[in-house]
Amino acid sequence: MQGVVKAEPVQGVRLSRDLSEPVPESGEVVVEVAATSVCGTDLELYEWSESAQGFDPKLPFVMGHECAGTVVAVGPGVDGVSVGDRVAAESHIFCGRCYLCRTGKAHNCERLRVLGITFDGAFAELVKLPASVCFRLPESISPEIGALFEPAGVAVHALQRAGSVAGCDVLVSGCGPIGLVVVQLALLFGASKVFAAEPNAFRRELAANLGAITLDPTEQSMDEVLQHMDGGHGVEVAFETSGARQALPWLLDAVARESRIVTVGHPGQPVPLDVAAYINKKGVVLTGVFGRRIWDTWEILSHLVVSGRLDLSWLITHRLDLAEFEKGMQLLRRGESGKIIVYPK
């Protein structure tokens, strides 16, 4: 079968046409991949950036961690997932036995493996998965939208972590796909105004289409930005979804006293933080998310999409074959895309 393989610790990937087909072992299933989507992390892995190396991947591996498809084989001891089931994959492969798994925090398992990074992924015709990470898709959800559940779930988790945004002014820094879904969810969950800061004009327009008040942090000074916010006191809730190193210091100035910041993007390097000024005196509650809560994030997202309250289809701007993977990387690098769907067959 064919698949996109990260083989060398340098820029680039290899499209391999002779990968051996996975065979499910105990507790595992094999899924025929119907749709995958490309993530910023895939570009980091492609570039072999510091952020990518921070995941400690073991080369070579098949990339791709956002996918949906149909179960075509089931290994021994699998319960609750059958051949023919349409599923999306949770990319955080958890052990189910460690302290974190046993206390409802499986997304941050002590023995965490990540699909398409430390476990062969889904930019391939077939992917092998533990049955425990399969989420059965409702009838009305297409594989393309199913593949978006993984990244959109991160946005849902960020909102879960932030607590109520009802009646709050919200600022989202970075309008990549996750930031855009955060904008959409914040408005859906009752934010009074959502400001979206993004240097890329294409992405700013996507945020504006969702109803955000857009800002260019490279063009507008902090004073100008604060003018837009009621009374200039700053926003009550902010989300850092860009991963840019300069974003968090910028956000810490933009938020109100006693506000909440949730960070989602991974800066490739440490970011300095003045604890006395911002955490103690300004009273900012700073927290982050990694992955999705298993399975409440998935259930919330599924309910929102099935009910028609949350439409994710607008997010898909490009559809490519596996052989066009490099083109997907170029689109992503230029920031001229929403979500890129890749079809492995």
Q: Which residues bind Zn ion (CB under 5 A)?
A: 39, 41, 94-95, 98, 101, 109
Whichever of 98 and 306 has its CB closer to Zn ion, that residue is 98
Tell me the three-class secondary structure of the chain, residue by residue.
CCEEEECCCCCCCEEECCCCCCCCCCCEEEEEEEEEECCHHHHHHHHCCHHHHCCCCCCCEECCCCEEEEEEEECCCCCCCCCCCEEEECCEECCCCCHHHHCCCHHHCCCCEEECCCECCCCECEEEEEHHHEEECCCCCCHHHHHCHHHHHHHHHHHHHHCCCCCCEEEEECCCHHHHHHHHHHHHCCCCEEEEECCCHHHHHHHHHHCCEEECCCCCCHHHHHHHCHHHCCEEEEEECCCCCCHHHHHHHHEEEEEEEEECCCCCCCCCCCHHHHHHHCCCEEEECCCCCCCHHHHHHHHHHHCCCCCCHHHEEEEEEHHHHHHHHHHHHHCCCCEEEEECC
Q: How far is the CB of 90 from Zn ion (least distance, A)?
A: 12
CA 76 to chain centre: 31
